[in-house]
Amino acid sequence: MAGLTHPSPNFGERKGGARPDIIVLHYTAMTSAEAACRTLCNPENEVSAHYLIAEDGRVMSLVPEQARAWHAGAGAWGDVVDVNSRSIGIELANDGFSPFSNQLMDALEVLIPQIMARWNIPPERVIAHSDLAPGRKIDPGKRFDWQRLARQGLAIWPKACDGSIPAFQDNLRAFGYRADVPSKVLLAAFRLRFRPGFEGPLDATDARIAAGLAARFPVDRHGLTA
């Protein structure tokens, strides 16, 4: 594992010769990047990520990009049910409640395009841990600035279009969310990323945003398989 700054033993081979075509963003929910690094490099914890970005912008490389890190767990995106085999995981040092530091975001904005270029990953394939595991995970959380990434073409931000409330779940499934969770859970995961802090029942704005996601970024255009 030459070239890694903090090698973790927690990784394996990508199954079936898979290549990464998803980038998954997490937060550490720990007191410091150093504490998170110890956790991610401890073989007893059986968890890791390819990268960890500290609050001060230091980028720690833990697992080679060619290898399968253990960051996504049980979850799915589109038809991909082994997300670990198809993704690059990036942990962001943040307690889950505080704003993400400018230094961290600056470093992320350098790292993501490098990964995208190496593996030909489009911006709609940069997703949250909460996207692939609705109800089970909430990171990187409502304080993460997705619009900042989208303005630089490193993620997407939806444009609303005509859509009906009954079609909400179908449109989210077309974008990539798995709809095999209760509707309230799916709504919460969607809002965590696209309407952070908004509460209440499903409304017309949710429906229009979901329709815009499905129209502009259908997951099946990538020809995904499990």
Residue 38, token pair as written in the block = 């110890």
Whether residue 46 lies in the annotated active site: no
CATH fold label, 11-151? Lysozyme-like (3.40.80)
| Residue 7 to residue 40: CA distance in whole angstroms | 9
pTM of the model: 0.96
Cis peptide before 140 (omega within 30 of 0): yes
CA distances from residue 51 to 33, 104, 193 in whole angstroms, order as listed? 11, 12, 21
Mind listing the pLDDT tens digit for each residue in 15-29?
999 999 999 999 999
Catalytic residue among 44, 55, 65, 91: 91
Whether the Cβ atoms of residue 105 and residue 148 lie closer than 8 Å to each other = yes
Give the pLDDT of residue 180: 85
Q: Look up tokens 């697992």; give the residue.
A: 63
- How many beta carbons lie within 10 A of that of residue 169, not counting itself? 19
19: left (phi over 0), alpha (psi -120 to 50) or beta: beta
pLDDT lower than 70: segments of the chain: 1-2, 221-226
Residue 52, token pair as written in the block = 């960890």
- Strands 68-69 and 11-12 turn out to be antiparallel
Give the pLDDT of residue 222: 57
Mind listing the pLDDT tens digit for each residue in 155-180?
999 999 999 999 999 999 999 998 78
141: left (phi over 0), alpha (psi -120 to 50) or beta: left
Give the pLDDT of residue 149: 98
Q: In 3-state terms, what secondary structure has residue 9?
A: coil
132: left (phi over 0), alpha (psi -120 to 50) or beta: alpha
> Half-sphere exposure of 6 toward its Cβ, with a 13 Å CA cutoff?
22
Per-domain boundaries in the chain: 11-151, 165-219
Give the pLDDT of residue 225: 41
